[in-house]
A = this chain, B = another copy of it.
């Protein structure tokens, strides 16, 4: 049987069409004006101690100077180039669903500029080219050269795939050649790897599009060098010291940082996800991709171990990762504070990338479940419903007083910012949303896995086409129409989300004779979370799926101290939250009883999008004691209506408190 390929997907889904239009109509034009210094951006600092905010982007200008098309000096973060590349990648995806001659022309010209800025040997990093060429590849732990080039390679590959622009791909190939010239096992090369993983996953993509396995090998070399002795970063530090070279990154080297950039041990020996959460998950994305390309089981085992560690012990209900602002990092098992964490938008994007690679390697409902959790919660919470404001940090509990008055919570913002000096998150989210069609299906061997219930029409090269429709995530009916031009024997695997596995209905109409027709199936019929439909498809077959969207009360493992005695409310793939604008302030004084009922209201006016609001009856503490500390047991409560909205939509109205985890009302307090 020939390997199946998906030919095209067009999304027809109210929820995601809206987000994709925001990316195309708001985010891409806005970022274009930012990187061209055409808007007066109000740039927000990440936290009280962050580097001084940059006043402008200067990112395109840096490229023009490097290309000899303008004069001036480099300006901005040393990884400023990556802003341009992530914009370009988002454009590549957006042009697939929304062709735009002018936009494509801008992107084509940008690629010409990038080509002009690239050095003859393939090197491209405007910071080093313009400020310190003598330091190229000399301080790879912090330099971000490989990070920037990795982002270009991702963008170039995507843009080539969309438009056929050969230059876009050629630049990437030249970059890879440059990197290969400098890094590798040969004695004269650098036996190293980047401080910020990214190039590994980019090289794997380049291998996929070019069919050239040497890119995979280079990425794999870097993956396996990581954490070996002698420590590459220390080798480079000594070399700089011996040659008397100093640079701005030296000050970062004061602390032992092995975990920060994941070189505390070889990756195959790692058992816990450590350090900077985005770096860890970019690394894992590359590792999983390379493991699949090279059929490297021990590398895949490492991915699986770290996947288990993250999803079992180090991930928020929203899919957020990174429990501390310090190093934007993982901390330790079950440490998931709700009001001091980082849970960066980029990290949720990266976790989605990682899940997708795991799914591609060995499809399993848990990977698709997690992609869905990220897509509907921790990623899109990073953007306002108007597509114009952004969060870096996605907290699960916010108190504006704390953000304003406790410097250790200054990174937890109450309102989304216009833009950031370090602008990684908005374009990361843009490229994810613009390519969300890539997350709907996984094709493995003879099976088409329907991973996400995003309304779409897709064609496969064996002549099968699928049309998925519904009003997910709001309503529970999903219709899947399978059309076969001629009879085709293919397995269709439909994900039944974990939260619906005890209660779902599927009925199949039409000429064919599937395993189950017109009957309910049970959880025991599922394999790895998928309902398998093995049959020869012909003509049109309508599959009706009904999921269980009843409201769920969720509790965390009791080792998660922050969530002890608390419950969270979920409905389908959505995590819900309470906002001050709906419920008054002092939200932590509210509690909800277990097994309460919720009223679902389809609300078309409160937010920029229609959504289902949940309402129930809760308790509010009313005690107003005279002293700070008093005799226990004198607490009084009153009944209050509690309203919840989807977490991703918080902070789109009046600024105020927000909580995801609510105290469970005790029998005593509900009297």
Q: Interface residues, chain A, CB within 8 Å of chain B?
A: 48, 255, 311-313, 315, 317, 323-327, 329, 331-332, 335, 340, 399, 401-402, 404-408, 552-561, 564-565, 567-568, 586, 588-589, 594-595, 621, 623, 625, 627-635, 663-664, 666-668
Contact = CB atoms under 8 A, between A and B. Distances in A.
A488 to B, nearest CB: 37
A627 B370 CA distance: 13
B331 A632 contact: no
A538 to B, nearest CB: 40
Contacts of A327: 407
A607 to B, nearest CB: 26
A592 to B, nearest CB: 10
A664 B325 CA distance: 31
Nearest to A664: B632
A326 B632 contact: no
A553 B402 contact: no
A254 B634 CA distance: 47
A335 B339 CA distance: 13
B557 A335 contact: no
B564 A312 contact: no
14 contacts: A325-B408, A327-B407, A329-B407, A331-B402, A332-B404, A332-B405, A335-B401, A553-B632, A555-B634, A556-B628, A556-B629, A559-B589, A564-B663, A632-B664
Number of chain copies forming the complex: 2
Contacts of A627: 312, 557
Contacts of A399: 561
B633 A663 contact: no
Contact of A405 (B331, B588, B625): B331
Given A555-B631, A594-B633, 20 more contacts: A312-B627, A313-B628, A317-B629, A332-B401, A335-B402, A335-B406, A408-B408, A553-B632, A553-B633, A554-B630, A555-B633, A555-B635, A556-B628, A557-B628, A558-B589, A559-B589, A561-B588, A564-B621, A666-B667, A667-B667
A558 B335 contact: no
A325 B406 CA distance: 9
Contacts of A668: 666-667
Contacts of A557: 623, 625, 627-630
A558 B588 CA distance: 9
Nearest to A591: B565
A256 to B, nearest CB: 10
A407 B342 CA distance: 13
Nearest to A52: B254
A593 B432 CA distance: 49
A329 B406 CA distance: 9
A488 B59 CA distance: 87
A223 B411 CA distance: 34
A259 to B, nearest CB: 9
A633 B48 contact: no
B326 A48 contact: yes
B632 A567 contact: yes
Contact of A406 (B324, B404, B664): B324
A555 B335 CA distance: 25
Nearest to A562: B588
Contacts of A408: 324-326, 340, 408
A438 B392 CA distance: 54
Contacts of A632: 553-555, 567, 594, 664
Which residue, of A48, A312, A329, A406, has the highest number of chain B Cβ atoms within 10 A?
Answer: A406
Contacts of A628: 311-313, 315, 556-557, 560
Nearest to A502: B631
A26 to B, nearest CB: 33
B558 A407 contact: no
A565 B586 CA distance: 14
Contacts of A666: 565, 664, 666-668
Contacts of A312: 627-628
Contacts of A568: 629
A552 B561 CA distance: 25
A628 B557 CA distance: 5
A564 B588 contact: yes
A369 to B, nearest CB: 11
B255 A48 contact: yes
Contact of A565 (B325, B558, B663): B663
Contacts of A324: 406-408
A232 B588 CA distance: 42
B630 A555 contact: yes
